[in-house]
Structures are given as C-alpha cells and as structure tokens.
Chains A and B, each alone.
Chain A
C-alpha cells in the first residue's frame, strides 16, 4: 500500500539553528499538509499546500516556518532559528483531493531543540 515517507525520523538541533524536515507524499496525491504534536498535547494543524502554494495556515505557522515542493516528489518544512518550544513530532500528510478526502499521514519526525 502506498505510504507517506518522512525523513529523518529523529532530528536534534541547537536552538537558533535551521532545520528542514522532508516528506515524500503519495505519488498521485495533490494536497499536502504539515501537522505537529507537542508531547502530551493534541495534534495541531500547521499548513496545507496545493498547486505549489499555501492554501491555508494556522496562527502557529508564522514567518519562522516555510514549506516548499522543490521537485515532483518531495515536500519540505523549513523551520528557521528554532526555539525550544518547536520541539515536537512533526507529521506530514497527503490526500488525493481536498480535506473531505481521507488523509494519509507519515510516521513523523521527532524534532528536539536543545
């Protein structure tokens, strides 16, 4: 069964550094998402992406964050100047159509900011 792939599975970085989290969505999917889950808290929506542009973003997704689809297969989340509170599990997801379709999630990248 096709799946969403995320790399790396764990990322440790120093506060103030930039990190790039990578995702390979399912190949025929057109909508891409990033969610995050801080330890012990709910899964939170960050951003959705369609047709090479952001279609919706949450208040969490400020200028520190950016997303990109650099080629036909990868979807990346860049976090500039990381903060301690950015430590979380970051999930990538994709769907064939918009959100009324089933979302398929990757297994996540655990980001630890020291």
Chain B
C-alpha cells in the first residue's frame, strides 16, 4: 500500500531563505507526483507536476525534483517571501490513473 511522508511537518524561517521540503513514498511505481499549496480555508492549488519519466520541473522560484527509484521528491523554494506561507502537500498518482495519495503536508511560515 502506497504511503507518502513529508518532512518536516512544520517550518518557520525568516524572509529570504532558500528552503527544501521533502516528500518520500514507499512504492516507486508511480505515474506522477504533484506538489500543491493549501491556504487556510482554501482549496488546493497545483504548483508543479512531475511525470514519472521526468527528473524535475521548475516554475518561477519553485523547483521540484523526483528520484523515483529512491522514492523521494524535494520542493525547493528560492528566496522565500511571507506570501509563501501555507501548507505544501505532496501527492503521488499510484495504483490507477485517478487516485492521488497525499502526504500530511509541511506547514511553512515565512516571517518578515
């Protein structure tokens, strides 16, 4: 059974720092991995999607890497800003084309 784990559970940093959020999954047979952002009381916003054949994806200050064989992904946030404060969720598409399996998230606080 696929399990997704995210470390750390919470992170508080000063503005301007570069950050790394970690995601691991137990079964390497995935179709893709997505990183989402969740703001309090809001829905999930897809940030980056990495297909199983890809190694990384970049969008602005965000870079996500995927090492399928070791069951790991990292989300790198460059030059963090207070507006980056949110919960970041990692999810893998596994065991079918329709079912995302989520991690518990990393709650990020960036203070001025």
Give the size range of A's interface with the partner. 20 to 34
- CB contact list, A24-53 vs B, under 8 A: 31, 33, 35, 41-45, 48, 50
Q: Is the CB of A56 within 8 A of B102?
A: no
| Also in contact, A33 and B98, with CB within 8 A (given A100-B32, A100-B93) | yes
CA A41 to CA B102, docked complex, whole Å: 10
B99 touches A103 (CB 8 A): no
B75 sits at the interface (CB 8 A): no
A42 and B99: CB pair below 8 A? Answer: no
Whether A99 lies near B43 (C-beta < 8 A) is no
4 A-B pairs with least C-beta separation: A48-B98, A107-B43, A105-B44, A98-B97
CB 8 Å contact bits of B82-112 with A (1 = contact, 0 = none)? 0000000101010011111111110000000
Main secondary structure of the interface of A (DSSP, over half): strand
- Chain B residues with CB under 8 Å of A31's CB are 98
Contacting residues, chain A, for B32 (C-beta < 8 A): 99-100
In this assembly, does B34 line the interface, its C-beta being within 8 Å of a C-beta of chain A?
yes
| A42 neighbours in B (Cβ, 8 Å) | 4, 102-105
Instruction: Judge whether B46 and A104 touch: CB under 8 Å.
Output: yes
Question: What are 25 A-B residue pairs whose CB atoms fall within 8 Å in the complex?
Answer: A4-B43, A6-B43, A35-B100, A42-B103, A42-B105, A43-B100, A45-B98, A48-B99, A55-B98, A56-B98, A56-B99, A58-B99, A91-B44, A98-B98, A99-B99, A100-B97, A102-B49, A104-B46, A105-B36, A105-B43, A105-B44, A105-B45, A107-B42, A108-B41, A108-B43
